[in-house]
Every structure is written in C-alpha cells, then in structure tokens.
C-alpha cells in the first residue's frame, strides 16, 4: 500500500472510527479540529492534530483549502473525508489530487456525476435499473416545475438534487401547497448544499428503504456486500438500520444487488459506495433512488455480518491494492442492527439539544459494538449534526440481535444533554418492526400526534429521593450514615427524617418525606406511601458507582442513578429521567425559574443562526403563523406565533447568531 499517513477530514465518532483503522494498519493519523472540538476525543486519539478554524463548519470542516494545508504541514499523503462535510464534494476530491494527496473515495468525476440526483437517475436508467416516475430535467424555473407537478399529480416529493439526509425534501399532498413547499425545499437545498436545483418524484407512501453496499478497486473488480434495511426514519433521516433486510424475496435481493454492481461497474466506481432503493410494499416493485459515493453512517451492520472492515478496505483500495476476494467469498453471517443515539428530544418534534456531557457510560455486553466520539466533558453545541453515537448489536438471527440492541440501549448513560434512547427503545419494541413488516411511514402511523416520553411515576420519584438522601448522608454502609439523626447534616424534623421537593420538567412538583437510617427507609409522597413501597420498608439501600441498589419485599432492585448537584438522573429501560430533588427548606427559598420571554414572545429554542425573518413590526399575525426560521445542528426550524396579535418588535436579523432563549420576535396582544 502506497499510503503512510492519513489526514481524517472529519470529527466525532466517524473520525474516531477512521483513526482506529489507521492504527490497525500501522498508518500515521492526523486529526483536524475547530474551536468547538479542541478537547474532542478524536483530537487526542490521532498521532497529530491541527486547528483549522472557528466552530462554524463552513470556516473549518467545510473549508477544503484549510484541510489541504493541514495535510501538507503534517506530511500526510492521503485524506479520508468520512461522511458528511466534504465527503461527496468533487471539487475537494480534485483539489486533493492536485495537491498530491490520495483521496479515500472514488474519482472526482464519479462523485460529481452521482452527486446530482438528476445525472444519477440517467446513469441508473442506462444500467437497466427502474427509477421512480417523476421529473429530473434541467428546466428549473417555477413554472416548469409547477407544470410537471400537475402532470404527476399528488402525492409527490420535492427533493434536492445535490444532497440527501432529508434536507431539501418536501411532501406535497395537495397541488395548492406546491409553490410554498417548492420555495421551502429550495431554501433548504441552498443552505445545506449550495445548490437549489430540485427534482420531483411520485410519492410511494407505503415503502421500505433498502440499500446495497458495493466495494470496488482500481483494477476493475466491483463486488456487493449484501443489503441493508433503513426504513425506520424520522424527518426523512435514518434512526435504525439492519443487515440483511428482513422479509425480502430472494429474486428481489438478487435484482437489487446485481443492479448495484452493474451500475457501479458502468460508471467506473472504486472504493466503498451505496446504491439506495425504495421498495413499494404493496406491489413489491423497487426503484433506484440515488448512489452515495462515500462511507455510510450505517456501515457497521455490514461489517458485522460480513466480517470485513470497510474502512480498512477503503484505505487499501485508495493505496492501490486489489481486492483479494471474489463475490463467492463473501458470506452474510447472522444479523446486525444499529441505532443512532442523537442529542435531540423526540417528544418535541426531534428538536436538537445542546449541553455538556457530565457523565458517559457505554454498555458492556458481548456482541455489541459502540461507535462514539463522546466522553464526560464533551460539549454538544449547535454547530454540527446531532448524532452522538451508534450502538450496534449482532446475533445469530434477527430477534436475538434486536433483543441484544434493546438491552444495550437501556444501558447507555449520557447525562448533561437530552438524548433519544427512550424513543429508540420504543421503536425496537414495536410489533411491526419485531416482525420485520415496518416501513418508512411507521413513526407517523404509530404516533400520529408525536412520540411521548416515558411517564414519570411515583416509584421514580421515590427512587430519586432515596438516591439524593444517600448522596447527602454518605451512602449505606458508611459509619457516618449509621449516626442517623445525630448527624449535624440531617434535615430538620423528627430524628432520621427529611423532606424533599421533587420536580421533573413540566410535571407538577411533589413533596416527599423519607425516614430511616442505615439503608432502611420509608418514603411517602404528599402524605401517601409511594407506589411500590406499600406495607414494606425499603432495606439495604446503597448508592455506589452510579447505581442505586435496594431490597423490597424480598426482591433486589438495581437502578442506574446519578446525582449531580440538585439533580438526579434515573436511567430506566425506557430512557433517562431527570428530576430536581431539593431539601424543602432550600426549595422554599428557591424562586421558580423565570421564563426567558413573555407570553407573546417567540424565542430561540437553542443556540443557532437566524435563517429568515418572515414578519415585520406592526404586522398582524395569527397563532401558529410562521414568523422566523432558525438554523441549528444543520437543521432548519420554523418558529411560529404563540397567539394572535400584532408584531411589536423584531429583535433579530437574517444571518445573526443567537443564544438559546433569546427573544426573536415580540408579539403584542391584539387590540380589543
């Protein structure tokens, strides 16, 4: 292999993944980092690391010139782009070649050709692949697109030609919506990819998303590594993927894999790539969607069922090596399922969350792999994608892999920033998914009004109080705890008793009284005994290493519980619950948290950049009317008026960076 040192032009978990592969091959590794990532794990893992600019991606990870300059300074002879950022940027790949750097990916001409959904469809048709009926022409004026939409008729999809990931994609169920949705799709496409070109497709409402992994070398060999199912999606973005695809007819599988190899060979493809299809669950027909000319987020499931290290082979191919195996040598062994853990709130429309990770623990379980770029102290900001980690499980069959992943997700512990682990657990528990009969519309069908978080119970409150009390008094088994009511730190009240104020989010606060010592306690909430603690005293309670253990009715219980300041985080099978637990004296003195804005104010839900202001001072608005668009974590969020009224003031401008909670638009009550 004619590569000795690789610069990894990415961040987070994929940068960690690539650096590990470099080390396994004995190659030197070079990391790059922005201001936001100075202390990130990938920076410390690499042999060398170079600062490439501010936190904003366009001035760091999307600045090809800075990355190539860092590669030159480091003496690197190859650049691996990972996925996202510059991974499918043909100009960057060409600039790497011009600088004498091997680009770990296909040729720039192939990237450019397949990076356009319009050109990719033409290549697929030439390769004999079926494509979704639609319009993918060069005529991009609004009138032409409206005419084509009328010809196709609803339901249809508007899709950005230059990218994917759900950005620049809009559903049109009524042609009257088309102009508005087209404008929105163009805005998102411009913001995400710098190209507002779109195409139109017939919307296949009950469908599956199936993709085929291909791998080619520079000596003419192209192989497939079987298929993956990526049908569980939110906001057109994948959340759970698996290999192989369940309940797929053998003839359909052969047609998909053979077609993917034919397409890749026809366009002269080398390195790793993915051919994506949509499968109509009603008719069994499949259609070509696009080709991703890079490594996929979900590549680990393919690695686990084939035993091949895709990143290693990417590097070997880029270094000129030929693939030493044939199609007949590749086997699919068992099943693998992956879940994407993201910093977001599924109960709030999957809105991204920011914060500092105060505690992080991965599941320790056989046949489970975790790809992560996290550690305690990691800062999750608004500048990059919200994905934090991937948890992947392998099993001898599909059910065992799903069960293993479900158990592993329940053990993931990330404190300090909200995550989607409870939502992922619910998805894995879904009956249609368990039977392999799921489709891309499952989330909307299962939760038409949106997913709701795990319900807070009295038992959760009681466990949080016990954890806080043990944390304050030293924990069971300590000689200081044994002193009970004689301790100077005991709360006022009868001996060995304390009263706490318990609150979780918007759930009304409750008073909780705990009495006892030496690990034996009784807990009462608002004058009644907590559910699960009736007619029994909780015994042998201990808090150690982030685990609350206790005995009740002769049964041992163990709960992941972390106490930091006045907060207790319980990691349940359904996800993490965060409760404020304060001594009642402190709670009485503590003022309620003040809202950032008034009843008519539209505030930024998190730090970000204002993309659009849709109203002006003095304008009359109605409740629910869009007033501003904010960009954070690569997503555009439309903010709406909370009530009817008149815009009293606009306190932001397009392009302005704003903090979370900042008032963007003030709406006065209508005059009566």
Same-domain check for residues 254 and 394: yes
Any domain includes 112? no
Question: What CATH code is carried by the domain that includes residue 150?
Answer: 3.30.1490.20
**Residue 127 is assigned to a structural domain of this protein:** no
188 with 288, same domain?
no
Shared domain check, 218 and 198: no
122 lies in some domain? no
Integer distance in angstroms from the first to the last C-alpha of the chain?
78
What digits encode the pLDDT tens for the residues 147-191? 999 999 999 999 998 876 678 889 999 999 999 999 999 998 888
CATH number at residue 17: 3.40.50.20
Q: How many Å apart are CA 210 and CA 248, to the nearest integer?
A: 10
Same domain, 247 and 328: yes
Q: Are both 89 and 166 inside the same structural domain? A: no
Q: What does the pLDDT read at residue 530?
A: 53
Q: Which DSSP state fits 67?
A: H
Count of structural domains within the chain: 5
Q: Is the domain of 369 the same as that of 501? A: no
Write down which residue in 177, 202, 227 finishes a domain. 202
DSSP string, 226-255: EEEEEEEEETTEEEEEEES-TT--HHHHHH
Which CATH number characterizes residue 636's domain? Answer: 2.40.50.100
Does residue 126 belong to any structural domain of this protein?
no
Query: Is the pLDDT assigned to residue 226 strictly greater than 90?
Result: yes
Number of residues assigned to the chain: 672
Same domain for 505 and 471: yes
Q: Which residue is associated with the tokens 């030493």? A: 324
H helices of 212-319, where?
A: 250-266, 299-306, 310-318
Flag whether pLDDT at 491 surpasses 70. no
Based on the fold, state whether residues 282 and 420 are members of the same structural domain. yes
* Domain membership flag for residue 528: yes
Q: Is 476 inside a domain boundary? A: yes
For residues 182-215, b (16+ Cβ closer than 10 Å) or e, as one string?
bebbbbbbebbbebbbbbbbbbbeebbbbbbbbb
In the structure, what pLDDT confidence band is assigned to residue 480 with cuts at 50, 70 and 90?
A: very low
Asked if 347 and 434 sit in the same domain, the reply is yes
**Looking at the predicted structure, is the pLDDT value of residue 144 above 60?**
yes
On whether both 223 and 355 belong to a single domain, the answer is yes
CATH code where residue 337 lies: 3.30.470.20
DSSP state of 487: S
Same domain, 238 and 278: yes
Of 530, 564, 589, which residue constitutes the final position of a domain?
A: 589
How many CB atoms are located within 10 Å of the residue 318 CB? 24
pLDDT tens digits along 566-582: 888 887 766 678 888 88
Question: Can the peptide bond before residue 244 be classed as cis, meaning omega within 30 degrees of 0?
Answer: yes
* 250 band by pLDDT with thresholds 50, 70 and 90: very high
What DSSP character marks residue 131? Answer: B
Residue 573: predicted pLDDT = 65
Same domain, 408 and 478: no
What residues make up the domain containing 635? 601-668
Q: How much is the average pLDDT of 226-245?
A: 96
Dihedral Cα 84, 87, 88, 90, nearest 10 deg: 140
Inform me whether the pLDDT recorded for 341 exceeds 90. yes
Residue 125 lies in a domain: no
* Section 418-445 average pLDDT: 94
Here the CATH number for the domain that contains residue 574 is 3.30.700.30
Among residues 423, 446, 469, the one where a domain terminates is 446
Rounded to 10 degrees, the C-alpha dihedral 192/198/203/205 comes to 0
pLDDT digits (tens, 9 = 90+) for 264-313: 999 999 999 999 999 999 999 999 999 999 999 999 999 999 999 999 99
In a domain, 124, yes or no: no
pLDDT tens, residue by residue, 601-645: 898 877 889 999 999 999 999 988 999 998 876 667 788 898 899
pLDDT at 100 exceeding the cut of 70: yes
Interatomic CA distance for residues 429 and 424, integer angstroms: 9
């Amino acid at each position: 292999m004619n590569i000795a040192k690789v610069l990894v032009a990415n961040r987070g978990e994929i940068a960690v993944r690539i650096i590990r592969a470099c080390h396994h091959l004995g190659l030197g590794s070079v990391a790059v980092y922005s201001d936001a990532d100075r202390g990130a794990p990938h920076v410390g893992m690499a042999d060398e690391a170079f600062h490439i600019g501010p936190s904003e991606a366009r001035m760091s990870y999307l600045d090809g010139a800075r990355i190539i300059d860092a590669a030159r300074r480091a003496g690197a002879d190859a650049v691996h782009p990972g996925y996202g950022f510059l991974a499918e940027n043909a100009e960057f790949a060409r600039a790497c070649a011009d600088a004498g750097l091997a680009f770990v990916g296909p040729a720039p001409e192939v990237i450019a050709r397949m990076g356009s959904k319009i050109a990719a469809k033409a290549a697929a048709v030439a390769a004999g692949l079926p494509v979704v009926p639609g319009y993918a022409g060069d005529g991009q004026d609004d009138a032409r697109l409206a005419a084509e939409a009328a010809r196709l008729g609803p339901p249809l999809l508007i899709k950005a030609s230059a990218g994917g990931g759900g950005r620049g994609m809009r559903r049109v169920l009524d042609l009257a919506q088309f102009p508005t949705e087209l404008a929105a799709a163009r805005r998102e496409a411009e913001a995400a990819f710098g190209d507002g070109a779109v195409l139109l497709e017939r919307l296949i409402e009950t469908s599956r998303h199936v993709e085929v992994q291909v791998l080619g070398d520079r000596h003419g060999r192209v192989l497939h590594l079987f298929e993956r199912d990526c049908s569980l999606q939110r906001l057109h973005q994948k959340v759970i993927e698996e290999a192989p695809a369940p309940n797929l007819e053998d003839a359909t599988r052969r047609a998909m894999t053979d077609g993917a190899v034919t397409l890749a060979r026809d366009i002269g493809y080398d390195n790793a790539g993915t051919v994506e299809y949509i499968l109509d669950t009603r008719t069994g027909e499949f259609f070509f969607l696009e080709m991703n000319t890079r490594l996929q987020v979900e590549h680990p499931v393919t690695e686990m069922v084939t035993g091949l290290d895709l990143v290693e082979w990417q590097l070997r191919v880029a270094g000129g090596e030929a693939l030493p195996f044939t199609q007949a040598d590749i086997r699919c062994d068992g099943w693998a399922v992956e879940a994407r853990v993201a910093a977001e709130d599924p109960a709030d429309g999957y809105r991204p969350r920011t914060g500092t990770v105060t505690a992080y623990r991965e599941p320790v379980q056989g046949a489970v792999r975790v790809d992560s770029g996290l550690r305690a102290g990691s800062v999750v900001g608004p500048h990059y994608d919200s994905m934090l980690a991937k948890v992947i499980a392998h099993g001898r069959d599909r059910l065992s892999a799903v069960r293993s992943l479900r158990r592993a997700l329940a053990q993931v512990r990330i404190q300090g920033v909200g995550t989607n682990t409870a939502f992922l657990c619910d998805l894995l528990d879904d009956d249609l998914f368990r039977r392999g009969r799921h489709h891309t519309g499952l989330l909307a069908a299962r939760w038409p009004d949106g997913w709701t978080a795990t319900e807070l119970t009295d038992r959760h409150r009681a466990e949080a109080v016990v954890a806080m009390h043990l944390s304050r008094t030293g924990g069971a088994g300590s000689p200081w705890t044994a002193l009970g009511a004689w301790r100077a730190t005991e709360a006022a009240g009868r001996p060995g008793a304390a009263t706490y104020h318990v609150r979780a989010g918007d759930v009304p606060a409750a008073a909780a009284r705990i009495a006892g010592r030496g690990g034996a306690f009784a807990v009462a909430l608002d004058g009644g005994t907590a559910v699960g603690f009736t007619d029994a005293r909780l015994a042998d309670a201990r808090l150690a290493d982030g685990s609350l253990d206790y005995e009740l009715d002769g049964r041992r219980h163990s709960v992941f519980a972390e106490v930091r300041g006045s907060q207790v985080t319980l990691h349940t099978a359904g996800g993490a619950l965060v409760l404020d637990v304060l001594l009642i004296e402190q709670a009485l003195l503590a003022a309620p948290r003040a809202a950032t804005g008034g009843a008519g104010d539209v505030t930024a839900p998190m730090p970000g950049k204002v993309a659009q202001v849709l109203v002006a001072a003095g304008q009359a608005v109605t409740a629910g009317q869009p007033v501003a668009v904010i960009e954070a974590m690569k997503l555009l969020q439309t903010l709406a008026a909370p009530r009817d009224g008149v815009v009293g003031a606009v306190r932001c401008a397009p392009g302005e960076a704003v903090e979370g909670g900042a008032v963007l638009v003030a709406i006065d009550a209508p005059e009566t």
